[in-house]
Structures are given as C-alpha cells and as structure tokens.
A and B are shown apart, each in its own frame.
Chain A
Amino acid sequence: MRDTFVLSNRIGKNYVVLSTFISTSIVFLILILLMINSWQVISLSDANLFSSEWAPYKNSFGILPMLYGTVIVTFISLFLAIPLGIATSIFTAEILPEKYRYIVKSVLELLAGIPSIIYGLIGIAFFSIWIQDFFQLQTGRTILTAGILLSIMILPTIITLSDDALRSVPKKYREASKGLGLYQYETIRFNLLPIAKSNIIGAVLLALGRALGETMAVMLVIGSIDEIASPFYNWLTPGQTVTSKLGREIAETSFGSVHFSALIFMGFILLSIVLVFTIIAQHYSKRTERLYE
C-alpha cells in the first residue's frame, strides 16, 4: 500500500511536470528556431534589410514595405474598432437591461468564432468591390480594405473584454456617483471608465496583438504589392504586411535559402513585437482572464 501511495504520486507528478514543461517551452523553441533561421540574411551585409526594396533576384530584401503595411493596417483597424467597440461595450455593460445580456454575450462569442478565411472571402466578394466602386479605383484590394476588414475582426475582442472590465467595477460606485446627482454619462465618464481603464487598455492591447498577427483575411484583400504607399498616407493602394507576405511566399521559397531566411527574419520581428504587447497586456488586465473571446 505504501509503495503505491508513493508511486502513483510520483508518476502523477512526473506527468504534470512534463506537460507543463512542454507547454511552456514551446514559445522559447519557436523564438530560437526563428532566430537561427534569420541569421543567414542578417549576416549577409548587402541584403538591404532595412530598405524599402524587396527584390530577391537582386539579393535585396528590404522589409520596410511589409513593416509599413503591418503598422498601417493595424492602425486603421484600431482606429475604427476602439471607439466603436468601447461605445458598444458601454451600452452592453451599463444600459442594456439584465435580461438581454446572456443573448448578447453569446452572440458576441459566436461572432468571434468566425474563421479568418471566411472574413477573407467576404472581403474579396464584398468589401474590396465596394471600396473599388466607391473610390473609383483600379482594384479594391488596398491597405484600407485590409484595415477595415481587420477592424471588424477585432471588434468582438474589444467589446467583450471592455464589457467585462466595466462590469467588474462594483455596483456601489455607480450608486454613490448617482446619489451625488450625476447623470449616467457623467458617472460612466468620470467614475467608471477611470476605474476600468487599465483593464480596457489590456483589452485594446490584446486586440492589437491579434491585429498584428492576422494572416488570411489580410492576405486576400491587401493586394500583395511590396511597396510603401506614396504618398505615405495614400492607403487606397495595394500593399503588403508581414503576415500576408509570409502567407503568400513561404511555401514557394526553398528552405535554407537567403530568401527564406529573410522571410523568417520578418516573422521573428513580428513575433517579438506581438510577444512584447502580449506581456504588457497581461500587466494591464490583471483580473480578467478571458482567453476565448
């Protein structure tokens, strides 16, 4: 009896330690692999990595157009989704009657579950056509189209997490504030939002991370042209993000080539940025632990 007592404990412990080791070391493994494979292009002195010319045949691997595309597309998506998302979350958290909450929350979760490839399909079939017609362009596959599509994709995240953030403010604050004669708008703006602020920032950072990493939808509607827009604010032209570049080219590129290494290098930069934002987001949203928004 004593032996099995100790033995099953030990087996169990080994199992959980091994599992945890596997789960937690994968991030490092990925980072290391990417770093190793980037080395080739980094060590190539005339690879022109930080230029804006991506021309593999010339051995020029300027990654700036892709970084530019990622930054702008992310910016557009946040610019649209943050106000819309927070305003909606204020409604669902403060104004919506209790009895409807369950349905609304469930619907938002379903919305968050739409696969990105389907967003891409909708983007091709509708958004790019609308943008093309509305702005009278050659093609509707532009940076703007990608930004708009992406904003819809990150909207459920912002709404759900901001809603959680507001609901986690205890009821007594609302009562105390109203008891002083403040209108609901004033209670929300001067009392609740400041208290929920750090959790909302966490939500935005999480959405930012998702926007940075989104591949399929962006890949299909951004037009895949490796150029920085000119002038730089003309977002009605096709462009390229890090993720769309990777998605399009990695399969075609031979493993171990400089071209491949350059692509990996971009992936490594993107991963590092996303990890940094994820860690910062963790710091901000200490209480809410929603993962499956």
Chain B
Amino acid sequence: MSRKTKNTLFKSITCIAVITCFTILLFLFGVIFWNGIPAINLEFISSSSSNFGADGGILYQIIGSVLIVIVSALLSFPIAIGTAIFKSEYLKTPKWQKFSNILIFGLNGIPSVVFGIFGLILFVNILGFGISWFVGSIILGIMMLPTIILTSFQSINSIPTIYRESSLALGLNKWETITKVLLPQGFSGAITGLLIGLARAIGETAPIMFIATAFSGVNLPQGIREPVSTLPTHILALAQQATNPEALQNAWGTSLILIILVMLFSLSALFIRNRQQSLSQL
C-alpha cells in the first residue's frame, strides 16, 4: 500500500470514528427527548407521585433533588475554596503541590457507591443519623469538593504575582490580599467549578440511594433526619418496573427533567467560563 493510500485510509478511519461517536450522541439525546417529551406535561411536574411512580408526577422528586443539591453546594463551597486558597497561596514547593494533587484526584476517583457506603457506615450507623437527606447533602458535598477545588485553584493560581505584590506593598496582610484582591478575580472560576459540581451531583444515584432517599411515601422531609425523594432514585425505581409501560414512560419523563436540570447547570458553567475568557482577553 502506498504512503498516500495509507494516509487516505487513516483519515477515513478517523472520520468513521467521529461519525460513530456523533451517531451515538444523537441516539442518546434523541432517545431521551423522544421518549421523555410525551411523558411531560404541567401536571407531571407539579403533582406528587402515586402508585409507586407509575402514576402521578414528580413534584417532590424535583424539590428533593434541588434541596439536597443546593445544601450540598452550601456545605462544600467554603471548604473547597479554603482548600484551593491554601493550595495556591500557602503550599510552595512542587512536592506539596504534587502530594495535594494526588489526594484531590484520589478523592475524585472514588467510586460513587463507595461514597454511599461511607455515608452509611459513618453517618447513618456510627453517628446514628439514620436515613437523612442532610447526610446525603454531606456526601454529595464531599463528592463535589475536588471539582470545585481544582477549578478554584486554577483560577486563583493563575492570577499574576504582581497583584499580590502590589497589594502587600499597599499594606494589606496576606489574608486581606486573598479576600480583597485574589478571590474577587478568581471567583468566577470557583463558580464554574461549583456549577459543574452541581451538574454532576444532581444526577448521582448510588451515593444517596441508601442513605438519604426513600422511594415511596415521602413528600417533603420534615426535619433533618428524614429521607427525601430525588429524581435519580425515582428513575431507578421506575426502571426496575420496566415491564410496566406507564412506569417506563414516567421514567423517561423524569430522565428528561433531570437532563434539563443537568444541562442548565452545565451550560451556566460554560457561559460563565466563556464570559471570563472573553473578559480576560480585553
């Protein structure tokens, strides 16, 4: 085979690969929208579920998901920013940077079901919280940490040293430099990370399915030590009734709503990242 033929063949193969991926992508999104849209109407979104989910709507699942995820963000964000600041401003040697990277990426790589088990052992049993939506928020918050830490770190760390030096020269101490000079600039990066973390957290099932949620009979949690229903666990329960076409249809509807929420967070993150990039090019 001549060199030229090999080249053309190679290019064709990569082209086929791209088309394959594109087809898969179209299929996935297509299927979700095609099956989900018929299942959705105003009633679906605004009423509670009944008959193990085969009838009724997903109002409380939506509320539950949003609740658990917002609280997890509130718990996670301060800790993540603090860690990012420490990593950027207080850790000086490459060795420490590498070490902290290992720990952070390690945390990121932990399987989601292991997080669930961790929550089960520590919070539900040892600390005696029982099945609690708040524990779910804690666990999801822990899962979000690496994402927020790394984006915030990149954002703060990339601020040129001259800003720090000018601030210190004006008489601000280190902490004031951080809060008044660095954080405002790095904030959009942190928010981007937060939104991405939210997008992931809202779709998680395994970490919360046995520590924070219950399938039926739950509307709004009355207190901290109560379970909640969420969109992903609802899909799980419906998927296990896949032979029932009504349940299946509701599963698609719930999936579509979930995807829309995930996309909302992801697109916001993209949007903010873009704005930040075009701002910094001015």
Residues of A at the B interface (CB closer than 8 Å) are 5-6, 8-9, 11-13, 15-20, 22-24, 26-27, 29-30, 33-34, 37, 83-84, 87-88, 90-92, 95, 106-107, 109-111, 113-118, 120-122, 124-126, 152, 155, 159, 183-186, 188-189, 206, 209-210, 212-216, 220, 243, 246-247, 250-251, 255-256, 264, 267, 270-271, 274-275, 277-279, 281-282, 289, 291-292
> B142 near A16 (CB under 8 angstroms)?
no
- B102, B150, B196: which contacts A289 (Cβ < 8 A)? B150
**How far is A291 from B145 in the complex, measured between Cα atoms in Å?**
11
Type the 1/0 row for B104-115, where 1 means its CB is closer than 8 Å to any CB of A: 111111111111
> A114 near B259 (CB under 8 angstroms)?
yes
Select the residue from B32, B107, B110, B176 with max chain A CB neighbours within 10 A. B110
Closest 7 A/B residue pairs (Cβ): A115-B203, A19-B82, A213-B111, A12-B175, A87-B17, A278-B109, A251-B210
> A107 near B25 (CB under 8 angstroms)?
yes
Does B78 sit at the interface, judged by CB under 8 A?
Answer: yes
CB-CB under 8 A from A216, the residues of chain B are: 205-206, 232, 236
Contacts A115-B258, A220-B239, A251-B209 given; does A19 touch B204 at CB 8 Å: no
> A20 near B248 (CB under 8 angstroms)?
no
CB-CB under 8 A from A220, the residues of chain B are: 236, 239-240
CB-CB under 8 A from B45, the residues of chain A are: none
**Which residue of A has the minimal Cβ distance to B150?**
A291
Contact size range, B: 35 or more
Type the 1/0 row for B4-28, where 1 means its CB is closer than 8 Å to any CB of A: 1011001101111110110011001
Contacts A23-B79, A250-B120 given; does A183 touch B4 at CB 8 Å: yes
Report whether over half of chain A's contact residues are helix, strand or loop; otherwise say mixed.
helix
Give B156 Cβ to nearest chain A Cβ, in Å.
Answer: 11
**Which residue of A has the minimal Cβ distance to B174?**
A9
> A270 near B111 (CB under 8 angstroms)?
yes
- B83, B146, B259: which contacts A16 (Cβ < 8 A)? B83
> B3 near A186 (CB under 8 angstroms)?
yes
Residues of B at the A interface (CB closer than 8 Å) are 3-4, 6-7, 10-11, 13-18, 20-21, 24-25, 28, 31-32, 35, 78-83, 85-87, 89-90, 98, 100-118, 120-122, 125, 142, 145-147, 149-151, 154, 173-176, 178-179, 193, 196, 199-200, 202-206, 209-210, 232, 235-236, 239-240, 242, 248, 251-252, 255, 258-259, 262-263, 266, 270
Contacts A183-B7, A274-B111 given; does A264 touch B100 at CB 8 Å: no
Contacts A27-B106, A91-B15, A185-B11 given; does A247 touch B206 at CB 8 Å: yes
> A282 near B31 (CB under 8 angstroms)?
no
